[in-house]
Each structure stands twice: as structure tokens, then as C-alpha cells.
A = this chain, B = another copy of it.
């Protein structure tokens, strides 16, 4: 055991659990020199571990029989199944035994369990999911990706801060460009929520250290004209699902074309390495998972279809989120905002 840093992993969560999940933990432990708590059914986890060389790796098991299934009602399941693998993984974070938690299980439940166990950071009104999109020029964080369907301007202001800190700490983007998703670039465009949020972010950008570039449009997400795109969770979810669907449809059409005749297949074989590289840029597994920002700890919600590589990357993202102090920076920013608005009120 060369490492004392551990991330807690819900070994039972995800379509490919526990096989790919445990495999991801083994890869992360080896590649990133980290410890991974494997939370779930001990016999199933042991059977998977037996398939790998785990010599010298820090992979302790925390046994539990309870698992939250994909179809269950998130909040109910979290409350009823106190010993669910997801809950226990988060408790390891709460109790300081792990620095972060990852689950590819029921994402609504992971959201609810993180809120319930880790609690909101001081000053945070609504934690939000920050989804990383592969833009042409680099990653673009869309926040909120689906945690809050109905929002107020104050929530979106906080999302802007949380997203900016995350892109700075995790992706090393200096002074991330923060855009507000709207139906036009000009100030004054938007629905009422966006119009009000624009003024709020504009007013508080300096005190929060935000590089606010104003409104952006849907096209700015894939082109990478902003590093952080702020929207409510309803719109963010539509953006996520539409992007996934459109990329799949296009890639599907492309595959159809390329395998339609023998000569097409040969031509496709020539192009294959380059195309594979291109598809990799579009592969959500690259970014491992979606952080829930605004809770007191690092919680990563991974895609249900996560494979070993996605889990490996998610574990590393959880660790970096903790080690770079994302949560502390969020709390500090909000405290500064509060002090400032107190001062402004005193001045009036």
C-alpha cells in the first residue's frame, strides 16, 4: 500500500456492475496510485477482483447487501435502503475515510443521497450537476445538467461560480469564460429567468471573480465559445439528451454509409484510425462523470453505461475535486458575496 488517499466507489451501481466497475477501480488504483473503497456485495466484488492482478493495490471492500436499482424512486429508495452501497460510499466521505465518492447507479438516487449525506455547503441554495461537453476547442461545462428543473436567478448565479471554480481547478482553464445560455447573444435576450439572471451575474461578477461573457447560444456549446455555460436543469437536461441523441444518430448514419459496399468498407478501413480519434473526443467516458457541485464533499455521478475507463476517470476526477479544494473555494466565494451584499445594504 503506497497510498493513503482513498475514493469510495459504489461497486454495484451501473449497467455493467460489478464487472466494469471493479475493473475501473483496479485501473485507477494502478494508474493513479490511489486507494479505492469498493462498496457492495463482498462475494461479487471478490469474484471480479480475482480476474485482475491486484498485487500491492489498496482496494478495501466494505460489504453490504443492499443496492438501489435503476428503476427505483430516487428519494424513497435512498431513505428506505439506509445500507445501500451508494449511501455507504457517501458516508465514507462524510466520515472522512474517503475524499470523494463515485456511483454509476440510479443517478437521481445518487443526487438525493449526496444531498442527504454530504449536505449543502454553507451559502449554497441548490447544488447542481456540471456536465462536461467535448467542444471543438476543449471541454465546456454545462451547469445545471438536470438537478434543478425550476430555478431562480440566485441559483444560476451560484451555478456560474461553481462552474467557474470547477473548470479552473479540474481543467486548468485560467479565468474561465462564463456564458449564460439564451436565445440570442444580445443583453436583454432570454426568458424572464435569463433576463433577470444576466443583471445579477453582471452585478456580482467582479466580487466573485467571474469572467462573464454575457449571453451565449446553443451553438456555442459544441464550438467552445465559452468554458462554462449556465442554464437551469431543465434546459441542461434537454441539451445533454439532445447532444447524445444527435451524436449517436450522426455516427449511426456514418457507419451505415461506410459499410454499405465492399469498396466503402475498404475506404472506411483507411479512415478508421482518424475517425476513432475523433469519436474519442466525443466520448463522454473520457470525462468520467458529472460532479455534483455545491455539496460538502466530492460526489461524482457517472453515466449508467460507464465502462472501466469511465469509472477510472471518474475516480480520478473525484480525487482532484477534493484535492484542489473545489468545495472550499465555492464556500469562500459565496461568503465574499454575502459580506459584500451586507456592506452594500449597510451603505444604503
Residues of A that sit less than 8 Å from B by CB? 135-136, 146, 149-150, 181-184, 190-192, 194, 217-223, 231-235, 237-250, 252-254, 257-258, 260, 263-264, 266-268, 270-271, 274-275, 277-278, 281-282
The answer to whether B242 and A221 touch across the interface, beta carbons within 8 angstroms, is: yes
CA distance A181 to B218 in the complex (A): 16
The answer to whether B278 and A234 touch across the interface, beta carbons within 8 angstroms, is: no
Q: Which 4 A-B residue pairs are closest in the complex by CB-CB distance?
A: A219-B245, A218-B241, A218-B242, A183-B237
CA distance A235 to B274 in the complex (A): 35
Interchain CB contact (< 8 A) of A267 among B135, B235, B238, B268: B268
Interchain CB contact (< 8 A) of A222 among B220, B239, B246: B246
The answer to whether A254 and B252 touch across the interface, beta carbons within 8 angstroms, is: no
Assuming A217-B245, A221-B245, A246-B247, what are 4 further A-B pairs, CB within 8 angstroms?
A183-B238, A223-B249, A257-B274, A266-B267
Copies of chain A in the complex: 2
Closest chain B residue to A133 by CB distance?
A: B246
Q: Inside 8 A of A194's CB, which chain B residues have their CB? A: 234
The answer to whether B237 and A239 touch across the interface, beta carbons within 8 angstroms, is: no
Once A136-B252, A235-B235, A247-B250 are accepted as A-B contacts, the answer to whether A271 and B258 lie under 8 Å apart by CB is yes
